[in-house]
Structure 1
Amino acid sequence: MKMKLGISSAGVTNRYGIEEGFKLIKQSGFDSVDISLTGYSKEADTVYNVSEDEFLSYFSNIKKICDDLELEISQTHGRLTTCVPEKDLCEAIKINSELDLKASGILNAPVCVFHGVKLKQWEGVCLEEDFLLAKNKEFFEDYLTPLCEKYKVKFALETHGCSKISTGSVLDYVGDARNLRKSFDLIDSKWKSFCFDSGHTNEAIYYGGPGMYESIKALGESIEVLHLHDNQGFYDSHLMPLNGAFGAIDWAVVFDALNEVGYKGAYNWELGLGCFGNYLDQALPYIHGYLRNFINNKGRI
């Protein structure tokens, strides 16, 4: 079976526009896209602050463009911050999270990715394990799950890396995949899944988290979407897979572990494409060719 190759589309569509950007992604050879919703919010002058008809028209148009190109929307990316102590901010996050799921439903995306509880948000309030687990459960079970049911979209808890608190950078609580699994198991929802982020997990390893293989095995068959990218361990660089040249991830281990847990979805790459500037349209076919060869050889090049 052909392995589906995907790319996070924002770096392309932000530069070339929605229609031309998706066309370029398809012409370059990619099978699927991850559409980021993180730049939209109800508070700003974005499509999240327009009429119901305009909202529906905007995302229906994106879906039609992708459908016409036969470009699968494998996933979307929702809020980067979810569980916070500030009441006003918390309410704004909830409103935007619903809009993330609503947009995802219109796009017919099966999964919308969210970040969970972060130490840096709760420093000075409480960092006890039971408290953090309760906060994650409250947001994803009590608030998000009924909305997932309404819009027929799963949420995916994304793996974290480090968290920057007053004493410096430390392993985030759910940066440890075993803790993320613990939180996941406490959430009563048929709409839950995981997004395995290789770069975040590699960063977590640098700060004392479990290895790549152990992390993937801890999440297991509940991994439904991926954010794949490389780094040197201490900074979330969103690099191409480099196999030791400048990156630090042992990609053969990643592919073997994903195979062991039965992963069947798109191999989606979340890359920092800004470095290509206005040359991106010429670089993207090369990026596709490199990544296609890379996944076909399961990280062994």
Structure 2
Amino acid sequence: MNHKQHLALIQKYFPETDLISVEEFSLFDNEDFALKAFEYISRAIDNINSKFEFQTHFSFRFNINFNAKAWKFKDVNIIMLNHSIINDLEPIIKESISIFLKENFTKASGFPIEEDVLLELFIYLTISYLFFHELGHIIQFNSIPKEESSSEFNESSQYESPYLEKNHVYEIDADLFGVSVGSILILQYLEENRIKLNLSILFNLVTLYALIISNIFIEFANKFERIYFKESAYPHPIIRTRFCIEQILNLVQENITIHEEYFNMIENRYLLLLNEMRKHKDTEFDYLSLLKENEENIIKYMDEIEKTNDNYPELTRHKAQEIYDLIGI
């Protein structure tokens, strides 16, 4: 199925939605970036549709909210990314890389990957994360006998919504699926480019990945200046990022030995870089202090989420290796 056919099918379900065709990519702030994102996702869609029992359709839509969403209608699955998220992603990635490369440890470590290569790599990883996060929801939806389901990435419009355990469990599961795919792609990149994986390179790449992902979470969040647990429809950005870092390190441990204190080093480093980025945005804020002040409650909350996962057999984590084998990573 070509993209015009995907658009035509999606339009039947969303007749009032302004879908964006390839010919209309001039609507984006950076047409080249939008085209890269489109090509990455199109290849992924073709791959999963050739291997999964269900079919998924994708489109960009003209909407100013920083958001992405997945739907299931009987046997039709749809993923849409708002044009605003594509407009805002490139500046987030570029600024994160710029701050990261100026940091003293990065400069002292002799990091072997040039800035332009890093940009291309993390455009790929970030778009992959977003797409596979939404695909994670599609997999969740198709694993339960329910005809219609939907899930939004954006929490800003949902901040006052009541806490639902299922929302938090689903969102964390989709996050972990998205970053897992990205982590595997990082390892593949290092292998293909004959870059030997060592603790220094791992420390740098995981820190940058965490920095970019946390910035995306913060863009999605309406309130992030305080830690919240069971009062919002979505988990707090710092908590989501902590889950993601743990997942990344769990995956790469198959290739390299990682000691327990390594996690804390990465978390402290990315939060200090995040503080630095906020200064550049004239919104100075101490994320590291926020984490330290609430760490005991964060760990308690994370443990609660982990204990509830068995109550949701539809989660991607319960069939992760099977999914990886299907998509060929």
Tell me the TM-score normalised to structure 2 length.
Answer: 0.32
Give the structure with the larger strand fraction. Answer: 1
Give the structure with the larger helix fraction. Answer: 2
